[in-house]
Structures are given as structure tokens and as C-alpha cells.
Amino acid sequence: MDKILLKYPDEGEPTRIDLFLCREMDGESRAGIQRLIENGNVLVNGSAVRPSHKLKGGERLEIEIPEPQPAEPQAESIPLDVLYEDSDLIVINKEAGMVVHPGPGTASGTLVNALLAHCTDLSGIGGELRPGIVHRLDKGTSGVLVVAKSDRSHQALSAQFSVHSVKRIYQALIYGCPAEDSGKIEGIIGRHPTERLRLSGKARHGKHAVTRWRVRERYNRVSLVELRLETGRTHQIRVHMTEAGFPLLGDPLYPDGGRINNIPDTQLRGMINRLGR
């Protein structure tokens, strides 16, 4: 097994160990981290603990990453837009509408199914349903995705995401024109209290999320912004910009995001409609 060594800050506030590891091990779900803790793969000062154990300051953590598991999803011949590939990794331009990996209700047609046909072998560290997957994009989001073909590259990429040395930069059209030229949005993101499909920055429980934004261009009621993610939470950009009062144009899930027809500039409105997702 591979090991990760961490130290909780000497002056750190009392924090549950599963929440602390969720912040430090970007890309890992809280449920997955809790399984590691419950299986004895996480030691605090040499002793096994429960997921609810509170860190108080100065503790040394030892996390054992289980041996890679064989990838079991079926290979499917699905076209891929490959931007780069070598023996260790492959970079994909994921199209909107494609799910990254199999899960409840989605057993086929995913990026993983397509990758298994294209590569024949992927890193097994992500588990049976997520071979090679180091980070994710929402189903409705298009963009660049890096996938590990070897265990060595998976470990290296995961470490880079964990310490935030990987820079994730996005561009988005938002409804409205911020008064400031740049800013930072920080808080937790968790399940929306009433809308099952949405997430919220006002949830009682969630994961820490940080987004930095900068206006690149202002139009009539619309702005083009650049967004840099310091964390990679599900729906992070959508939640942060919506709750800041500037929803993403064309987003049907979050309030006011789909108001493209309200844009007074007909030429701009036509261009946006042609962009797709």
C-alpha cells in the first residue's frame, strides 16, 4: 500500500478527521474517506480512530491507500476527443452530456467505458467504477479532463490535486455585470435543503470551496469572467456565481441562469445560443 503522511496544524481548531481529510485530499468523497478510516487505513499518532474523531492540534496522520482494484466496467466504442496521450496519461476534451464514470443509474455510456475501449488499461487506484479518474467534470459540463493510465501517474496527479498545485481555469458567461473587476468566493457547498438536484452554499453541512473570479469583458447585461478554482466541488462555479447574484447563462438548474432571451443585444444573444455547452 502507498502511504500519505500529514500533520494537523499545531494551532488548528478542533475538526473532525473525515472533514479535515476531505479538504486535504481533493477529489476524494467524504464517504470514501470514512471507509478508509473505518477499515483502519488512517492512523492518528499511530492509532486507529473513528470518522467522528476530532483533531485538536499537532497530530500526525498516516493514510494508507489500498492496492489498486481491477477495473470492471465494460469497454464501449465511443468516440473521444483526445488532446494528448502518452504511456502514463491521456487528456480528453469531454463533451457536455457525458457522465465521467459509472454510478447508480448509469452503468454504460460513460467516459470510463469509452476510455477502456481506447486504452485497454487504466490505473486501478480509483476503484472498480472509476479507474484512472483523478478529477471530474459535471455531466452537463464540457472541458479538459486528465486521466491516469498508470498507477504511478495516478499517485502523482492525486498528490498535485491534493496540494492544489494544479491550476483549474474556466471561462463563463454570466448574467449581470459585477461592479468589481475581481473577487474571491469562499464557503461550504452542500446539499440544497429543498431542491434534490441542486447544491447550496447555505447548507448546514458541506465541503469547503474557494473560487477566484476576474471580469474579462462586460457587455450589455452580460459579462465574460475567468474563474480559478482552488477546490473542485460538484457544481462549485454554478453555486458560487448564482449565490453571488451572477448565474451562468443557459444553466437551467439554478435560478435565473436560463434567461438568455432577456439579453437586449440580439447579436450577442444569437452568438450565445450558438455556443451550446
Tell me what the mean pLDDT of segment 186-204 comes to.
85
Q: Out of 35-39, 152-156, 265-269, which region has the weakest mean confidence (pLDDT)?
A: 265-269
Global pTM value: 0.61
Domain coordinates in residue numbering, the chain: 2-65, 82-162, 168-275
Tell whether the model's pLDDT for residue 276 goes beyond 70: no
Judged on CB neighbours under 10 Å (0-12, 13-18, 19+), 136 is: middle
Best-predicted range by mean pLDDT (24-28, 81-85, 186-190, 201-205)? 81-85
**Fold classification of 82-162 (topology level):** Pseudouridine synthase (3.30.2350)
Predicted confidence at residue 108, as pLDDT, reads 85
Q: Are 92 and 82 in contact (CB under 8 A)?
A: yes
**What are 89-101's pLDDT values in tens digits?**
999 999 988 999 8
Predicted confidence at residue 231, as pLDDT, reads 86
Same fold for the pair 2-65 and 168-275: no
Predicted confidence at residue 221, as pLDDT, reads 84
CA distances 138 to 99, 135, 176, 215, Å, are 7, 10, 24, 23
Q: Are 122 and 147 in contact (CB under 8 A)?
A: yes
Predicted confidence at residue 143, as pLDDT, reads 87
Provide the pairing of β-strand 89-94 with 82-85.
antiparallel
Domain 168-275 has CATH 3.30.2350.10: yes
Q: Which residues are catalytic?
A: 138
DSSP letter for each residue of 26-59 = TT--HHHHHHHHHTT-EEETTEE--TTPEE-SS-
Considering the segment(s) 2-65 as one domain, its CATH architecture is: Roll (3.10)
Provide the pairing of β-strand 143-148 with 47-48.
unpaired
